[in-house]
Structure 1
Amino acid sequence: MFSEERRQEIYTIIREQKKVKVAQLAEKFSVTLETIRSDLKYLEGEGLIKRCHGGAILGKQEIKKISKFSDSFDISCLLHDLLIVRERKDRKPEGKVCVLGSFVVDIIANVDSFPKVGELINSKSNSIGPGGKGTNQAMAASFSDAKVHLITKVGEDHFSKYAYKYLQESGIDSFTIFQTEIEPTGSSISYLADKTQNNITATYLGANNTFSEQEIDISLPYVSEADVLLLQGEINIEANIKAAMFAKSVNKIIVLNVAPYSEDLKQLYATLDFITLNANQASHWADIEINDINDATQAINVISGDENKKVIIYMDELGVVYFDGRATFHIPPMPSLRVDTMAATDAFNGAFASKIAAGGTMHESVLFASAFLSAFIEQKGVTAMPVLSQVQARLKSRLEDIRPQIICNEKRCI
């Protein structure tokens, strides 16, 4: 657990119980006695509590010291029990989405075109920003009007503090950050080619691949409270499996974005309601080269499997091909000015999960996600999410252009 979160919860416990014991806190948080003593010393230094033999009590002057405490981290930390909640005033969320996934620091180089083997080129600009499929999709779901809880993990490095600060200010309703000293915070290096707006990315997942069984157990109440559990392939498979099996046992809708592709993700098949992929990922899963809509339809026949899972394949400039359990449909891309396609599929998946959580049909949800994506790629940066009113207006004005076209009304029609 992130140290700021642990101290925040310790402070909340002391406010409620008035007195705590070091040993009890150490057992609760599964840390050493010395770690708890260090936390209590920090809180005492901020004037919030008073240490006593074997524990701590609430400081008499704690209210007067709040302004000092807020110098070190956000005042909202004092008002919530583990969670940082920042609801936008104009929002009335209709569905709840729990995202178990990655936080990654993105290092992006803008180039005219990709370098050839052995070629040294100059980039036009470099930037560092927040990313990771879990975080990106949580952002998209939040801006699509879902109430979102993100569960992620970082290292004990300078990027971890960046992650915590970013998520506090992101607009995501609430989050849980676990922390490890074994691996660093995840990071990725991307080349974005201005001429084609294509990108190549290499990611080191680091801490994201170290979720423990205990950490998932701690997170299960958030899964239970959600309508949809949204998963990707950027955390260790054991964590995904445990969360998915629990979600299925309590009748939650489970969406898996197969990104990046891994054979291990097929272990989740039995638990899934929706499987989303891009053409490259679908090609790997189905072992079919995908160049057109017919190829995508054949791939869907394989991916949906014996249980007729609902499948979505994002085809970039060819639109979306999807199977709703009975028939296969194609939606052409919504017209848009392509400015930045980084994290485009993350925008799609977050928006899709949000609409499903709100009770939308698969057709409604794919249409909404397509409109959200088309607005997203017209802005620069993976955090530049469109507002809901913008997406709704776009969807209403262009609905006739992108109505689903049925490809076949039987699963195996090609």
Structure 2
Amino acid sequence: MKGKVCVFGSFNIDVVARVDRLPCPGESLLANNSVTSGGGKGSNQAIASLRTGANVHYIGKIGDDTFGQIGRRYLKSVGFNVLTLFSTNEKATGNALIYVSESSAENMIVADPGANMTVTEEEINKCVASIECADLLLLQLENNLSAVRQVIDIGYKNDIFIVLNPIPRQPLDDALLAKVNVLTPDAIEASYMTGVKVIDLNSAAKAADILHAKGTQYSIIALGEMGYLLSLGAEKIAIPNFKSQAKDTTGVADAFNGALVGRLANGDSLKDAAMYASAYASVSAEKFGASTPFDLSEVEEKLASL
């Protein structure tokens, strides 16, 4: 039986331009090519959960515009077990302008959240019954915080295992963090949330202890090339960053979070799920695009390389 995952999060249309290198301020560059595709942290993570074997219900919001029409067709084509897509004529569909350097695989992103920031209490109330059916709940912070809080409250009241990827930065109080089972910040966000400058495993461990003191049960702090620090409280586990021939790092964090929850839904321990998610993210970096499909045998090959 596939575990049931509910993902509440953003949907964006990504406009991606590939350049030899990232532009300097005020500089104009000619792109080698460009592509328009579906994206957004919520959508990306939901797709990764689905591809790693979970039964996924995705909840998002789009605008009543051309990008919204494209987005609706795209999301229906993904094959989610359940799709709830609200819409508004007050804001445009979320969109992101992304530059990807073909020499370094690094990226620059400017996002307009648009409709993602307009999710209402009434819309979330329509989803209560389906959220309550989930085994795991996955959220990020590309939506209005009021809606994020409401969904977390529903999950907490129903003893659903909650994973929060606290990106991009929004103010989170300890009362909210205490309702989260797994918090997955990167080094920058962990530094912001704890006051500890996170630069390596040791500093990440100090930051994780502060997050536990704030009420979060577990944490996984992403450290780039150094991998991840999984903190189970007193026990700290280094999760390696698998080597890859990176082509595009856009959406790698989303790949990790989605795969993490997908594997948890299938019964993996948090450590095993994090290992799998790291390998999945590594393969994702070798593909162009935030949610490009690939054969999961590539993930197994990464895991077997340890």
TM-score band by shorter chain is over 0.9
Could you say if the C-alpha distance between residues 337 and 265 of structure 1 is closer, same or farther in structure 2, counting changes exceeding 3 Å?
A: farther
Cα deviation code 1:250-305 (max 9, x no counterpart): 11000000111212476521210000011122121122222222222222122222
1:356 paired with 2:253, answer no
Q: Secondary structure at the match of 1:311?
A: strand
Aligned residues of 1:102 and 1:234 also touching (Cα < 8 A): yes
* Mapping for residues 86-165 of structure 1, pairs under 5 Å: 94-165=2-73
1:344 paired with 2:265, answer no
Cα deviation code 1:152-205 (max 9, x no counterpart): 001110111111100111132221100111111001111112222111211111
Listed as ranges, the gaps of 5+ residues in structure 1 are 1-92, 402-414
Q: Percent identity?
A: 33
The whole-number CA distance in structure 2 between the counterparts of 1:366 and 1:228 is 15
Q: Secondary structure at the match of 1:263?
A: coil
| Structure 1 equivalent of residue 176 of structure 2 | 268
| Structure 2 length-normalised TM | 0.95
Match of 1:240 among 145, 148, 152: 148
Match of 2:118 among 210, 228, 234: 210
Aligned residues of 1:143 and 1:386 also touching (Cα < 8 A): no
| Structure 1 equivalent of residue 237 of structure 2 | 329
The whole-number CA distance in structure 2 between the counterparts of 1:135 and 1:241 is 19
Amino acid at match of 1:215: E
Q: Secondary structure at the match of 1:294?
A: helix
Aligned-residue offset at 1:307: 3.1
The whole-number CA distance in structure 2 between the counterparts of 1:314 and 1:326 is 18
Amino acid at match of 2:217: K
Could you say if the C-alpha distance between residues 112 and 265 of structure 1 is closer, same or farther in structure 2, counting changes exceeding 3 Å?
A: farther
Q: Secondary structure at the match of 1:277?
A: coil
Aligned residues of 1:233 and 1:265 also touching (Cα < 8 A): no
The whole-number CA distance in structure 1 between the counterparts of 2:48 and 2:223 is 19
Amino acid at match of 1:280: I
Amino acid at match of 1:364: D
Q: Secondary structure at the match of 1:366?
A: helix
The whole-number CA distance in structure 2 between the counterparts of 1:154 and 1:130 is 12
Could you say if the C-alpha distance between residues 232 and 267 of structure 1 is closer, same or farther in structure 2, counting changes exceeding 3 Å?
A: farther
| Structure 2 equivalent of residue 392 of structure 1 | 300
Q: Secondary structure at the match of 1:352?
A: helix
* Mapping for residues 14-413 of structure 1, pairs under 5 Å: 94-264=2-172, 268-307=176-215, 309-395=217-303, 397-398=304-305, 401=306
The alignment of Structure 1 onto Structure 2 pairs a total of residues equal to 306
The whole-number CA distance in structure 2 between the counterparts of 1:202 and 1:340 is 16
**More displaced stretch, 365-374 vs 383-392:** 383-392
Aligned residues of 2:17 and 2:100 also touching (Cα < 8 A): yes
Listed as ranges, the gaps of 5+ residues in structure 2 are none
Q: Secondary structure at the match of 1:359?
A: coil
Higher-Rg structure is: 1
Aligned residues of 1:341 and 1:377 also touching (Cα < 8 A): yes
Aligned residues of 1:258 and 1:265 also touching (Cα < 8 A): no
Q: Secondary structure at the match of 1:271?
A: coil
The whole-number CA distance in structure 1 between the counterparts of 2:101 and 2:34 is 12
| Structure 2 equivalent of residue 18 of structure 1 | none
Q: Secondary structure at the match of 1:182?
A: coil
Amino acid at match of 1:190: I
The whole-number CA distance in structure 2 between the counterparts of 1:299 and 1:195 is 33
Q: Secondary structure at the match of 1:98?
A: strand
Cα deviation code 1:137-163 (max 9, x no counterpart): 000000000010100001110111111
The whole-number CA distance in structure 1 between the counterparts of 2:246 and 2:174 is 33
The whole-number CA distance in structure 2 between the counterparts of 1:302 and 1:127 is 42
Aligned residues of 2:178 and 2:216 also touching (Cα < 8 A): no
User: Which structure would you say has the larger RCO, counting Cα contacts within 8 Å and 6 or more residues apart?
Assistant: 2
Aligned residues of 2:62 and 2:87 also touching (Cα < 8 A): yes
The whole-number CA distance in structure 1 between the counterparts of 2:173 and 2:53 is 28
